[in-house]
Chain A
Amino acid sequence: MAIKGNLRDVGLNQLLNLIYLAHKTGALAIENEASRADARLYFKEGKLIQAALDGKAPRLTEIMVRVGKLTPEQAKAIHARSRVDTDKELGLLLIQNGILNQQDIIQGVKNYLLEAVYQIFTWRSGNFRFDPNLLPPDERITVAVTLDHLIIEGTRRVQEWEHLKDELPDLDVPLKFAERPDLNLRNVSLSVEQWKVVSFINSRNTIRQIASFLKIDEFQIRRIVYGLQTAGLVDVLPSPVAASAPRATAPVPSAPVGRSLITRVIDRLRSL
């Protein structure tokens, strides 16, 4: 018989704990109430063996690209060259061609599984259903991940999430570059994700709009902005204008710049 409920009442850590302690085999389907995203996790004898987000279990090459073991070009080339159907054959091909070794594949799949579950840990509500004895299709590679560490790390991330929400409660505010002349930027090193956010900073774009445009979830955008704030690079602007403006799905393009502004820039550059 299926186990059903809502994450509001039974948290993911409790569900995983149940599956772990009872050595359950089956599929756990969850739908995030807020974003309508869905996930399906497969377990075998109390261990996580596969994860599919948004109705799709990615192919092995997609996973390897996501975890940085393959470039998109390599993945494309492998699919173009080979006629294999199953991930197991694909894995064999990657190993035989010396592109990856067995350890790379196992670790890559494992990392993907962990990240998928950590993402679900941030879901606060949503219906779930656990169907016992349901296993993933045979053609996919499964890697068994023990749940004890995953539960501990997931719980830690939930606490981090709560902390980030306290630090950055409102996402409907814009960011601005910090004005701190004493700040030594020489040693500051940013990730690609942080740069993506930085490139959208202006008084017209709220944090939520930036996240939506870059397809970053709330946890990630809070983490990135908090990191930039802590490094002293950005400040959060309390903006009544942004708060009252209708929420666009993408950042608002800058307004056309007038001639007087260009002239000011020209005058300044001439005097450099």
Chain B
Amino acid sequence: MQTVKMVITGPFNSGKTSFIGSVSEIPVVRTERKITDETRNVKNQTTVAMDFGRITIDKDLALYLFGTPGQKRFDFMWEILSEGMLGFVVLIDSSRPETFREARRILDTFRSYSNTPFVIAANKQDDEDAWPADDLKIALGLDSNVRVLPCVATSKESVKNILLELLYVILETAPEEPAPARKR
């Protein structure tokens, strides 16, 4: 069976685990352990390695979703995870502007690995403090051609929409395939 992968990245507590969990057909495999640093106050447990989900496309193909580690000290994993990915999603908690700078740093780091297609997901749009996707785009100083999409990571439909948008971007850059040889 052939496998392809997408990477879901973003700052700590931006919703990566929920995002993958919303569409994965297997329970998201994750490693979690008690955290002992300054992020302690944000949530009681956090992802220290990464999340991993799967969507079976057909009998010959599966899509794997890899969530990157939430905290800075695990950023050595990013390049490893980005190897061979189809594209990536940068998930941002739109209600926490204090994380926007970190999101931009993550985006720049991933773009430096390769020119793989990506989209930005402005998550937690159901929060009344959430910045609109268009404002987020300006705040992040992104080019006009970058797609910044509203997202609610706990909603399957919303996550589906983000992944489809990413796939459309990937499709735009995918190489043309040679036409099959004609039979005589």
Please give the residue numbers on chain A whose beta carbons come within 8 Å of chain B beta carbons, in ascending order. 71-73, 176-177, 179, 184-186, 188-192, 195-196, 198-200, 202-203, 214, 233, 251, 253-254, 256-266, 268-270, 272
Set A190, A259, A269: member contacting B31, Cβ < 8 A: A190
In the complex, the answer to whether B52 meets A198 with C-beta atoms within 8 Å is: yes
Indicate if the CB atoms of A202 and B3 lie closer than 8 Å.
yes
Interface readout for B71-108 with A: 1 if CB under 8 Å, 0 if not?
A: 00110010011011010000000000000000000000
Whether B80 lies near A272 (C-beta < 8 A) is no
> In the docked arrangement, what's the CA distance between A241 and B62, Å?
21
A254 touches B49 (CB 8 A): no
Whether B55 contacts A262 by the Cβ 8 Å rule is no
Contact stretch, chosen from B8-16, B124-132, B146-154, B168-176: B168-176
Q: Flag if A261 contacts B55 (CB, 8 Å).
A: no
A199-B77, A199-B81, A272-B160 given; name 5 further pairs at CB < 8 Å: A189-B32, A192-B48, A198-B52, A214-B80, A259-B171
**Contacts A253-B84, A272-B23, A272-B156; A259 near B176 (Cβ below 8 A):** yes
Bound together, the chains give a CA A72 to CA B57 distance in angstroms of: 42
Query: Is the CB of B138 closer than 8 A to any CB of chain A?
Result: no
Cα distance A199–B170 when bound, in Å? Answer: 21
Residue numbers in B under 8 Å from A196 (CB-CB): 77, 80
A266 & B175 in contact (Cβ 8 Å cutoff):
no
Select A251's contact among B27, B73, B83, B175, beta carbons within 8 Å.
B83
Contacts of A266 in B (CB 8 A): 164, 167-168, 171
Per-position binary interface string of chain B over residues 48-62, scored 1 when its CB falls under 8 Å from any chain A CB and 0 otherwise: 111010111110011
Question: Closest A-chain residue to B167, C-beta based?
Answer: A266
Q: Is the CB of B175 within 8 A of A256?
A: yes
Contact A195 B77 (CB under 8 A): yes
| Distance between Cα atoms of A188 and B171 in the complex (Å) | 35
B180 to chain A, nearest CB (A): 11
Measured between beta carbons, the chain A residues less than 8 angstroms from B35 are none
Chain A proximity mask over B136-159: 1 for CB below 8 Å, otherwise 0: 000000000000000000001000
Query: How far, in whole Å, are A179 and B56 apart by their CA atoms in the complex?
Result: 11
Q: Are B57 and A256 in contact (CB under 8 A)?
A: no
Are A257 and B49 also in contact (CB < 8 A) when A270-B164, A272-B156 are?
no
Contact indicator B177/A269 (Cβ below 8 Å): no
How many Å from the CB of B71 to the closest CB on chain A?
11
**Whole-angstrom distance between the Cβ of B183 and the nearest chain A Cβ:** 19
**Which residue of B is nearest A260, CB measured?**
B177
A–B complex contacts, Cβ < 8 Å, 28 sampled: A72-B73, A177-B62, A185-B27, A185-B29, A188-B29, A191-B31, A192-B48, A192-B77, A195-B49, A195-B52, A199-B81, A200-B80, A233-B29, A254-B84, A257-B174, A258-B174, A258-B177, A260-B177, A261-B2, A261-B61, A263-B171, A265-B57, A265-B167, A266-B164, A268-B55, A269-B23, A269-B160, A270-B160
A71 to B73, CA, bound (A): 9
Instruction: Give min CB distance, A94 to chain B, whole Å.
Output: 18
The minimal Cβ–Cβ distance linking B118 to chain A, given in whole angstroms, is: 15
State the Cβ distance, B86 to closest chain A Cβ, in Å: 6
In the bound assembly, the distance between CA atoms of A73 and B26 in angstroms comes to 37
Contacts of A259 in B (CB 8 A): 171, 174-177
Are B55 and A257 in touch, CB under 8 angstroms?
Answer: no
Interchain CA distance A195-B76 in the complex, whole Å:
12
A256 CB → nearest B CB, Å: 5
Nearest chain-A residue to B50 (Cβ)? A195
User: Once bound together, how far apart are the Cα atoms of A33 and B113, in whole Å?
Assistant: 36
Binary A-proximity of B28-42 (CB < 8 A = 1, otherwise 0): 010110000000000
Inter-chain contacts of A253 with B (CB < 8 A): 83-84
* Set of chain B residues within 8 Å of A177, measured between Cβ atoms: 3, 54, 62, 64
